[in-house]
Structure 1
Amino acid sequence: MPIEDIHEFISELERNGELKRVKTEVDSNLEIAEIMRREMYSNGPAVLFENVKDYDMPVLGNAFGSMKRLEIGLEMTDFTEIGKRIADMTKMDVPSGLLNKIKKLPELSKMTASFPKSESDGPVTEITSTDASFEDLPILKSWPNDAGRFITLGLVATKHPETGVRNLGVYRMQIVDKTHALMHWQKHKRGAHHGDISKDRGEKIPTAIIIGGDPATIFSSIAPVPEGLDKYLFAGITRKEGIKTVKCKTIDLDVPANAEIVLEGYVDPADIRDEGPFGDHTGYYTPVEPYPTFTLTGIMRRKDPVYVTTVVGKPILEDAYIGKVIERSFLPLVQMFHPEVVDFSMPAAGWFQGFAIISIKKRYPGQAKKVMMGLWGMGQLSLTKMFVVVDEDINVHDINDVIWAITTRADAARDTTIINNAPTDTLDPASPLVNLGSKMGIDATQKTKEEGYDREIQQQVKVDNKTRNLVDSKWSDYGL
């Protein structure tokens, strides 16, 4: 059975030695964030702060800050399983004839089991109120020059104003006062797209901020799923069981029934205010920029909620591990569109959107550039600023092996591709304009005569099998 909520997740983390409780009083203003960063930088455990100054609500941080914690939360060790499940569904044929339909029932039941299930109530509906205030929550200020307190791990729920497809995204929110916050959904994100459609229609967009929930739903809200795929369905695919949902009280949205807190309201695309600065995962403060305003209209919560949060800054922090799971889980989808791709890595030091390495089974000239162009046209990968393509014999997760390939198989003038005036991540501190910059691709594959490489390919130095086997057989005798 999948883990159902944060309380169960906390128990599992503690049972596996992946959580510590802090009973000393701590302040949500800077102190908690600094503790969380120190623990992350030293590979420490998740932390449950049980005594938060001025609040009677515990704070959970670093809950997803290691691969082991994500394995516990998502109940798997091979994260490519997630992408394989989606790929298998897209390949599923519609059966014809009674016998074929019966044969397909097991596969079809797996698909339907992933769909969300609507409930009349749930744990998050234990307390409901229209007299809601952000001041009731231990929202963190993380860095000294931040513009204020920010919700950093709120799952922002919206639905497409025309199709009704539901989305969950994690967008930071700067608290303005008791009932207003600024919604930092960047131009390329799905929530911002929903907001733009509502603006064109002259409407405000119903929005819910979900704090906590089961680990698979939290992960799904961060994952850049294919366009048109309902995030609630993706959560069910991830956990192999559909999530339970309930209706909000003041807006027309469904939300996970096992959440800790749901903040109901709407975003007014016409009410634009200055947001930031904020110490971000690039390691820099993002500057002040205009973003729309969220207005709080109601709250649903448990009687004993846990406030779940995260901190960002110069890598490597908690978001790096979540990003690694996204990388693994979407490899099968990348391979669906580009079958020559062998492996894929987005190193955490490159804050994921900045740098990616792809290994391919090369069959024809120019294939590395073909893969680069294709990936730059795929969803959120369009924002990746640097691609390096290597041959299948290179380990994309070993940066030393990658550097060796770049320096022995790439010629700077011949194998570097620069694309100007392309979309870039809003948070990129190096781009000359916000949302617009350049791309760089490095073809670090072995070149062929068809690609203008007229030299003989030099032979790699490798040990012969006879010597390897001899040393293997005597290794324990060497005393090394």
Structure 2
Amino acid sequence: MSQKKQDMRSALDILDGVNRITRVQGEVDPKFELPAVLAQSPNRSAVIFEKVKGYSVPVVGNLVDRENFALTCGIESSIEASLQYIDRGITNPIEPVMINNAPCREIVITEDIDVMKTIPVTTFFEKEAGPYIMSAIVVAKDPETSKRNVSMNRLLVLGPDRLMIGMSPSHHLYRLLEKAMQLGKTLEVSIAIGNHPAVLVAANAYVDLGFDEFEIAGGMFGEPLELSPGIAVDVEVPAGAEFVIEAEFIPGELHEEGLVSEFHGMYVDYGKSPILQVKGITHRKDPIFQIILPGRFHEHFIIGAMAIETTALRHIRTAVPRVKAAYITEGGMGRSHLVTSISDPRPGEGQKAIFAAFAHCNLIKHITVVDDDIKVDDPIDVEWAIGTRMRAERDIMIIPGVRTDRADPLVKEGTVSKVGIIALREPTALPKAEIPKEIIEKVKSEWKHYQVQVGDKYVDRSFSYIK
């Protein structure tokens, strides 16, 4: 592989260099114990488990949060920078390139396949059916056009060489499977585990079927994403992936999954899902297994949130060009609650922004529209706008019976009520009381002069209340 920094290891090297890796040196059991430790890790650094019971393979979790994403992608840590970075990938996609002798193919297993013996797959929650792979990107090709589709799907290990794959009937992969079945073909997939944060976010982008998410990753990197051809299937994966599972759908065979956790932190029962037959496993020498703690945990929220807010912003701008920013909140589980800001809004544009966002993504069900002097990712600032600019009798929209995703915790017959809040200032609004900007900037630039001390330590400046 070239020296391009497109893999998970390069991301970990960057985080290690800025002390954003926590190492767990005591042995942990991958069944319940490992996720229990990960859930209680003291900060949002990546966590590496060095000793996993029954395996010589270390495990990494908490790879992606907003700060880690910015560091590993070489951008500023701000909502504006991440929106621009991801949007660049969508607006300026770059076609991937194929390489031979990729790191993900250093070890090849095509006989005596046993997923659980090779990979320390984790069991997360007590009522789930078994161990799940939650960090994988699943790659498939359209059986007619051969265009790639990349997504993230949960994978339940059923046996040594059998996996159940969870996917909604509304998702692109499901549509490709239906098309293959109608054509009398078998749909192959490659499952890549252990990927760069940019690749994970690209895989979650809400784009049209046929838009190759690997091209989005290339656009984000500013160079082609390197892919490796398959060993047992005709489907490519990122060359730097840690593990690759190659498989095909078993026609007509389904598995009753039972209870499974969702992003809202509760169990759901989706019924039966398709089964994959594993045809081969490849991995790097001394591989690292990546997990994403599912349910109501921040990494699970953020990977989806960063992709949704970027594509939502693009869509809203088609209706309201002066929309400045969009932010999917963690309180809204990284899916359901959106805050968007507008520069110099005209009458009715708040409503248009709300309708455009609802039209873009079924999962979004609560939208707050603010002026561009409000930081969309600051909940205190957003609540201030609601408290000072929203008139409840006029500015709250409740829309019943809107189509939603099956994962919504309140879904009934495929629909849910949705809410829009318009918190835009009126022309006659009271002015903000502010310290003169030139004095603020002077103090910022000369902060050391003031020798601000807490206990026996001097502290860096913090103007959290100044917008």
- Does TM, normalized by the shorter one, top 0.5? yes
CA distance in 2, matches of 1:88, 1:288: 35
Which of residues 437, 440, 455 in structure 1 aligns to 2:419?
440
CA distance in 2, matches of 1:403, 1:167: 39
Local SS of the residue matching 2:420: strand
Local SS of the residue matching 2:406: coil
Verify the 8 A CA contact 2:90 2:219 in the aligned structure 1.
no
Local SS of the residue matching 1:143: coil
Report the alpha carbon displacement of residue 184 of structure 1 after superposing the two structures with TM.
1.1
Relative to structure 1, the CA distance from residue 446 to residue 293 in structure 2 (aligned partners, 3 Å threshold; closer, same or farther) is same
Which of residues 424, 433, 443 in structure 2 aligns to 1:462?
433
Which of residues 356, 363, 366 in structure 2 aligns to 1:383?
363
Verify the 8 A CA contact 1:279 1:285 in the aligned structure 2.
yes
Which of residues 25, 36, 48 in structure 1 aligns to 2:27?
25
Verify the 8 A CA contact 2:89 2:218 in the aligned structure 1.
no
- 1:79 equivalent in structure 2: 82
Alignment of 1:281-360 (within 5 A): 281-315=263-297, 317-323=298-304, 325-326=306-307, 329-330=310-311, 333-334=314-315, 336-337=317-318, 338-360=320-342
Structure 1: stretches of 5+ with no match in the other structure:
90-110, 449-456
Report the alpha carbon displacement of residue 268 of structure 1 after superposing the two structures with TM.
3.8
Report the alpha carbon displacement of residue 460 of structure 1 after superposing the two structures with TM.
4.0
Relative to structure 1, the CA distance from residue 345 to residue 326 in structure 2 (aligned partners, 3 Å threshold; closer, same or farther) is same
For the aligned residue pairs, the C-alpha RMSD in angstroms reads 3.1
**1:362-389 deviation digits (Å, cap 9, x = unpaired):** 54332211111122222xx232011122
Verify the 8 A CA contact 1:275 1:291 in the aligned structure 2.
yes
Relative to structure 1, the CA distance from residue 34 to residue 217 in structure 2 (aligned partners, 3 Å threshold; closer, same or farther) is same
CA distance in 1, matches of 2:239, 2:338: 37
Relative to structure 1, the CA distance from residue 177 to residue 84 in structure 2 (aligned partners, 3 Å threshold; closer, same or farther) is closer
Does residue 144 in structure 1 map to residue 130 in structure 2? no
Report the alpha carbon displacement of residue 324 of structure 1 after superposing the two structures with TM.
5.3
- 1:50 equivalent in structure 2: 50
Alignment of 1:409-424 (within 5 A): 409-424=389-404
Report the alpha carbon displacement of residue 2 of structure 1 after superposing the two structures with TM.
4.3
Verify the 8 A CA contact 1:353 1:425 in the aligned structure 2.
no
Which of residues 355, 380, 391 in structure 2 aligns to 1:373?
355
**1:304-353 deviation digits (Å, cap 9, x = unpaired):** 211111102324x2233434543675576346523121221111110122
Structure 2: stretches of 5+ with no match in the other structure:
454-467
Q: Which residue identity is paired with 2:419? A: M
Verify the 8 A CA contact 1:130 1:299 in the aligned structure 2.
yes
Local SS of the residue matching 1:69: helix
> Taking structure 2 as the reference length, what is the TM-score of the superposition?
0.84
Q: Which residue identity is paired with 1:399? A: P
**Greater gyration radius:** 1
Percent of pairs with identical residues: 26
**1:390-425 deviation digits (Å, cap 9, x = unpaired):** 233333222233233334433444333333332223
Relative to structure 1, the CA distance from residue 410 to residue 179 in structure 2 (aligned partners, 3 Å threshold; closer, same or farther) is same
Verify the 8 A CA contact 2:316 2:353 in the aligned structure 1.
no
> Taking structure 1 as the reference length, what is the TM-score of the superposition?
0.82
Relative to structure 1, the CA distance from residue 196 to residue 26 in structure 2 (aligned partners, 3 Å threshold; closer, same or farther) is same
Local SS of the residue matching 1:176: strand
Verify the 8 A CA contact 1:2 1:75 in the aligned structure 2.
no
- 1:429 equivalent in structure 2: 409
Does residue 117 in structure 1 map to residue 116 in structure 2? no
Greater helix fraction, Structure 1 or Structure 2:
1
After TM superposition, the runs of 4+ consecutive aligned structure 1 residues lying more than 4 A away are: 327-332, 463-469
Relative to structure 1, the CA distance from residue 52 to residue 355 in structure 2 (aligned partners, 3 Å threshold; closer, same or farther) is same
Alignment of 1:189-228 (within 5 A): 189-228=171-210
Report the alpha carbon displacement of residue 447 of structure 1 after superposing the two structures with TM.
5.8
More displaced 10-residue stretch of structure 1: 26-35 or 287-296: 287-296
CA distance in 1, matches of 2:216, 2:432: 47
Verify the 8 A CA contact 1:212 1:218 in the aligned structure 2.
no
CA distance in 1, matches of 2:57, 2:437: 66
Report the alpha carbon displacement of residue 472 of structure 1 after superposing the two structures with TM.
8.0
Local SS of the residue matching 1:242: coil
Report the alpha carbon displacement of residue 301 of structure 1 after superposing the two structures with TM.
1.7
Q: Which residue identity is paired with 1:47? A: V
Report the alpha carbon displacement of residue 139 of structure 1 after superposing the two structures with TM.
0.4
Report the alpha carbon displacement of residue 282 of structure 1 after superposing the two structures with TM.
0.8
Verify the 8 A CA contact 1:174 1:276 in the aligned structure 2.
no
Q: Which residue identity is paired with 2:401? A: N
- 1:38 equivalent in structure 2: 40
More displaced 10-residue stretch of structure 1: 263-272 or 339-348: 263-272
Q: Which residue identity is paired with 1:50? A: E
